[in-house]
Amino acid sequence: MPTFHSCGACAQCAAGHPAYCHAQQSLNVSGGRGDGSTPLSRDGSPVHAGFFGQSGFATHALAHERNTVRVPAGLPPAVAAPLGCGAQTGAGTVLNRLRPRPGDSLVVIGAGGVGLSALMAAVAAGCDPAVVIDPVAARRALATGLGAKAALAPTADGDLVTAVRDLTGGGAHHIVDTTSRPEMLRQAVRMLRPRGELALVGLGTEVTFDVMSLLAMGVRVHGVIEGDSDPGRFIPEPAALHRRGRFPLDRLVTTFPFENIGDAVDGMREGTAVKPVLTFG
C-alpha cells in the first residue's frame, strides 16, 4: 500500500523520522517528483501528479519503493487505505510520540478518522481513562463503542475543563488535538496535569497561550505530522493490532464506489462518513 514519500537520506530520514524529511514538500505536494519532472505526461506535456509521492483516485498508481509498504495479505484494502495517512497520523501520534504507559489518561479532541485512530491506539496501549470530545453525537457514540470511557460535547461555559480534570483525576497525562481550534487548544492546556503533553495534529494557523500556565505546569506541546512514523516500520503495527481485534479501523470506514466520489465528500462534510474510502470495480 502507498503512503507519504521521503528522501531516505537526510538527517531526519536517517534518524527514523521521515515525516520531517527535508524534501517533504517537494516530494509530496509539488505535483511532481521533486526534481521538477512529473511522473505522468500526455502528448509530451507534463501531467502534474505524484501527490504524496504516488497520487490516488485511480486504478493504478506510480509509487516509489520507499513509500510503498507491505501489509499482511489478509488486511482488506479498504482498511489498509486509511493507514496511509489519517489512521497512521492518529495511531502514530499516540504510539510513536506520546508513548503512554498503561493507566495513563489520554484525551482526544475531535473524533474524525484521525482522532478515533488516536483513541483506538490509546485504548490498545492501555490508557485509562481514554476520553473523547466532539460536538457530533453519532461520533461520540462511536467513540464510546471503541473504548472511550467518556465522550463529551464541547460546552461554551468552561465546564469542559472541569469535567476532564474530574474524569482524569486532576488533569490528563496526554491530549491529542485534531481540531486546531484556538478555543479548544486554550482549554486543552488547562485540562492537562503538571508535565502533561499536548500533541497538535490538526492543520491550523495561530493560537495564543498564557505562557505562565505553560511553564508553571511544565506542560509539553508537540507538533506532530504523519504520526512521526517511519511507515515501513510502523504501519505493520496497527495492521497487526487490527488482526487481533484491538484496532478496529473497519468501524470507521464507509466505502463508496469511485463514481460516487461526490457522495463520499458529502458524507465526510456532514459527519455521516467518518472515513470514506473509494473503491474501484
Nearer to Zn ion (CB atom), residue 26 or residue 88: 26
Nearer to Zn ion (CB atom), residue 22 or residue 190: 22
3-state secondary structure of 237: helix
Residue 131: name the closest of 154, 157, 108, 155 by CA. Answer: 108
C-alpha cell at 64: 516509489
The burial of 34, by beta-carbon neighbours within 10 Å (0-12 exposed, 13-18 middle, 19 or more buried), is given as middle
The burial of 216, by beta-carbon neighbours within 10 Å (0-12 exposed, 13-18 middle, 19 or more buried), is given as exposed
- Minimum Å distance from CB 27 to Zn ion? 8
The residues that touch Zn ion, with contacts defined as CB under 5 A, are: 6-7, 10, 13, 21
- Minimum Å distance from CB 6 to Zn ion? 5
Nearer to Zn ion (CB atom), residue 6 or residue 179: 6
- Minimum Å distance from CB 30 to Zn ion? 15
- Minimum Å distance from CB 3 to Zn ion? 14
Residue 150: name the closest of 161, 162, 164 by CA. Answer: 164
- Minimum Å distance from CB 19 to Zn ion? 10
Single-letter code of the amino acid located at 180: S
Nearer to Zn ion (CB atom), residue 6 or residue 93: 6
Using left for φ > 0, alpha for ψ between -120 and 50, and beta otherwise, residue 13 falls in alpha
Long-range CB contacts (within 8 A, 24+) of 34-42: 34/7
Nearer to Zn ion (CB atom), residue 8 or residue 46: 8
- Minimum Å distance from CB 235 to Zn ion? 18
Q: Are 122 and 139 in contact (CB under 8 A)?
A: no
Nearer to Zn ion (CB atom), residue 225 or residue 268: 225
- Minimum Å distance from CB 11 to Zn ion? 8
C-alpha cell at 147: 473504548
Nearer to Zn ion (CB atom), residue 30 or residue 180: 30
Give how far Cα 47 sits from Cα of 15, 32, 40, 41, 62, Å: 34, 9, 5, 5, 13
* Cβ-closest position to Zn ion: 21
